[in-house]
Chain A
Amino acid sequence: MEIVRSHVHRNISTNDAVNTLPLYRSAPPLEVRLEDFELYAMDRLRVLKGISDGLSRGKKPEEMEQLVVNLLKAHMRHQQASEVVNKDMISHFVLRLVYCRTEDLRKWFLSMETSLFRYRFRRENAEAQRAIMAEFDLPYKAVSHVEFESVKDKLEQVARSIGQPLPDKDTIFYKVPFEEVPELVAGRKVFINQGYAYVGMNQVVSLVATLFRSQLSKALTLTNRKWTSTIREQEKDRLTPIVEALCSSYLGPDYSQPREYAQISLKDIDQVAKSSFPLCMRHLFEKLREDHHLKHGGRMQLGLFLKGVGLNLDDALAFWRHEFSHKVGLERFEKEYAYSIRHNYGKEGKRTDYSPYSCQKIISSTPGVGDHHGCPYRHFSEENLRAAINRMGVNGRTLEDVMDKVRNRHYQLACTLTFEAIHGKQCDAGINHPNQYFSDSQKILKPKPQDPSATS
């Protein structure tokens, strides 16, 4: 791809691809105007951000598919029809530069691009899907007629269990090692026998998406290398500033860098928990006070949150020690739990400084027996959730609105409504991180006229 200044005539690309769904295997031989470089990327970023929002609201696959169609229509069109594919390709490759640079960025980009690919693939017709599968070199053979008959009743059971139409003699199934379709295995959406999963044509999406993802993942690593070794320096007056600006304008702060001054002191923590903790952390905090113990998932979720809020290591150790020593004794606390607290602050082991969990991560966790972590809007029963929100001071019409959001699986919107009700102020950005809830809450309750390190 060649980036040129405006007023240069663009080459019309000779696009051989029959598919409208590119696989982004190599950068297209096109010339791109500098302003299109940025604009196309921003349009695509709007699409990816829209997908991210949709996923964190727990939208179902059919809803996501429609969302993707709408997003593409809104942002990825072009006046010249022939340019649509080019915009698609160019914007993808520009964003690769932007999002190859750190682990977290790569992870996010990978997830969103794979989702985008997955929903676009679902909309393709069977012909196009088969062509794409061929591109990915899927050597899987279709299940023979004879074999199909022998497992037909099991395949029917599976189809009925997941609400899919029953297979008939014309339905194609592929026999695939189960390792290649982990999502289908995890959801019990396929019949598995002797290590092989029987994947229906309509489930092939999962297969292809996995391959797309791993292909993109490898490419991102290479892109990162090229970026750090040559491109960033070469382009420091032209593309690099654009690339660096593109990224930070769309990802919120990750709260992994604690503030210089502790936002909470141990003596105020009970009060502050009541006024500024989101429900998920309040619940963990209360359970900790009550039981003098939390299981691993809860310790991680609450511990990292407190770190993000500015609780320093010594105060954190004092806090957890105070609670746990009631149940396990001082000595045992030092031996079994202090280590992991220091680990979370990057003082042990491989010294990674862990980031507090975002709402998306918390919502998708799986609390089990004896656990109290997770997102209460998702994981609590209706009764328990009502009671919990009521205790926070939300009732009447607002409480019903919140429960309504929960029923529609808009967990973060529910939390946002709770926030607004308690603080009497709008939260336009919506809650997508517990630490954001906390800092927004503190800003309202204790406004500092000159806040030197205010975050967006």
Chain B
Amino acid sequence: MTKQELQNENDDMLIDGQEPEAPGQKQGSHDPGEFNPDHLKLFYGKLFPCADFFRWMSYGNDGKHPGCDPSYISRREFSFTLDNDIFLRFQSFHSAVELENSIREKCPFKIDIGPVYSVEPTKRHAYAQSGDNVFAPVERELIFDIDMTDYDDVRYCCTGADVCLDCWPLMTIAIKVIDTALRDDFGFKHILWVYSGRRGVHCWVCDGKARRLTNEQRAAIADYFRVYKGNENSHKKVSLTGLALHPFLVRAYTEVLKDFFEKGLLISQDLLSTEERYEMILELIPDAAIASELRGRWQDNRRSSSAKEDINVVRWEQLKHLLSKNKALGLRRCVEEIVFSFTYPRLDMEVSKHMNHLLKAPFCVHPKTGRICVPIDPNHCEQFNPTTVPTLSQLLEELNERGPRDDLDDEWTGTSLEGAVSLFRTSFLQPLLKACKEEIESSYGAKLQQSKNSFSW
């Protein structure tokens, strides 16, 4: 990291944004049915998988091998949001016990994970902002944040904070497209997808290579994924120019977007059924003649009673047919542009670009819904149902009903959280720690070899 990158002008405090709720909602109000702050104490006491969390954050440095760096975990920033919106930044811990005690004592409403710094965050004031002795981030997972509210202009079933099974496929699409690219294109292996607890998903890429990426490289990856550009002030937001599409976009379209659109969202969101809705799509066709021909057909044809097929499907076929007949340059990609506009993942670029951006930790409880931020298996993400994710009150009831358990079992055995922790361990944590161990050992070996060599004249 060069000093230029450290003194980034945009280096102000960045947290994953909390946008204002509807007016009239009281400060700090929670649906008492789903989230009771008193239950947090029980949650952190019995259910929050603190030991696994610590092992993850240590990335193998909590071992006994001489190559392990015992200072590593203490240089990681955590931040706690307490009741009454009190925000404690730059928390750091030397051991699992310290972390656990602090969490149980403070009962944070939210735990955020920050970067690993050059020195312990609690000692940061002793270090300069420039020169040689600097307090700066040195490692940080590559992260992505996908939020359903960014899709409000293409979903009609819900708005704002709500999500349902009709619009959730947009998140499924995002997971599939991004996960495949991270593995196949960028070669990353240790990727954790997490439900954000209400209306989106987070992605943590934890390979050593990913953690050591500079801000510039993170921005490059985020831009590689960026297709949707613009907002209510600009007109056409997806523009796929060129005689061909980049292989990444082709794969996204043929493997994911096309089917999810044509067999899913087109119908569940009734995208072509009413004038207001089909106008939004007609607006994306640069040829006025074609648009008005379709408009003409659809205005008269409101109830195509003879057709058994869904009206959206029928109209979509008509649109595709008309566009395929016209080989003009501006229309070449029109069908794809429409599909991309309605389905392609919309990332929050700022979250991914900066090493110092905080992001909520997995297994937190979402204060507004009471749902646990559970991991999502990307290989089975189509089966993930946000409406059945266990809530805090549900888990505590399960604990009561379950009664005693074997001493050797984890606290959450026999509750709905068991599956989530098991997924976290087997598909993410264990392979990750194995790779970390190998990395530590081999890099230590290489250093030893180097110092041996330097002695031979």
Contacts and interface: CB of A to CB of B under 8 A. Distances in A.
Partners in one complex: yes
B27 A369 contact: no
A371 B4 CA distance: 27
Interface stretch (A69-77, A133-141, A238-246, A377-385): A377-385
Interface in A120-161: 154, 156-158, 160-161
Interface stretch (B12-20, B313-321, B386-394, B430-438): B12-20
B contacts with A: majority SS: loop
Nearest to A103: B7
Contacts of B270: none
A194 B184 CA distance: 5
B329 to A, nearest CB: 12
Nearest to A158: B246
A296 interface: yes
Contacts, number: 149
Interface stretch (A270-278, A328-336, A411-419): A328-336
A283 B247 CA distance: 38
Nearest to B243: A160
Interface stretch (B51-59, B222-230, B271-279, B363-371): B222-230
B9 A110 contact: no
Contacts of B247: 154, 157-158, 191
A174 to B, nearest CB: 17
Interface stretch (A179-187, A261-269, A423-431): A179-187
Given A188-B248, A336-B85, A160 B242 contact: yes
B213 interface: yes
Given A327-B23, A379-B234, A354 B242 contact: no
A183 B220 contact: yes
A393 interface: no
Contact of A336 (B18, B153, B220, B244): B18
Given A161-B243, A193-B185, A195-B186, A350 B129 contact: yes
Given A331-B27, A379-B230, A110 B242 contact: no
Interface-central residue, B2, B230, B243, by most chain A CB under 10 Å:
B230
Contacts of A195: 186-188, 209
Contact of B220 (A163, A186, A371): A186
Contacts of B188: 195
A221 interface: yes
Interface in A345-365: 349-350, 352, 354-355
B407 to A, nearest CB: 44
Nearest to B215: A182
A325 B14 CA distance: 21
A343 interface: yes
A376 interface: yes
A380 B27 contact: no
Contacts of B235: 381-384
Nearest to A350: B129
A396 interface: no
Given A160-B244, A340-B13, A186 B4 contact: no
A349 B234 contact: no
B381 interface: no
Given A107-B4, A343-B12, A343-B13, A368 B231 contact: yes
Interface string A281-321: 00100000000010110001000000000000000000000
A110 B4 contact: yes
B121 to A, nearest CB: 13
A293 B219 CA distance: 27
A192 interface: yes
A249 B197 CA distance: 55
A40 B357 CA distance: 44
A163 B12 contact: no
A23 interface: no
B242 A162 contact: yes
Nearest to B124: A350
6 contacts: A161-B244, A191-B246, A193-B185, A335-B85, A340-B13, A350-B11
Given A194-B185, A295-B17, 12 more contacts: A160-B243, A160-B244, A161-B242, A182-B219, A186-B223, A328-B20, A329-B27, A340-B12, A349-B12, A352-B129, A367-B231, A368-B346
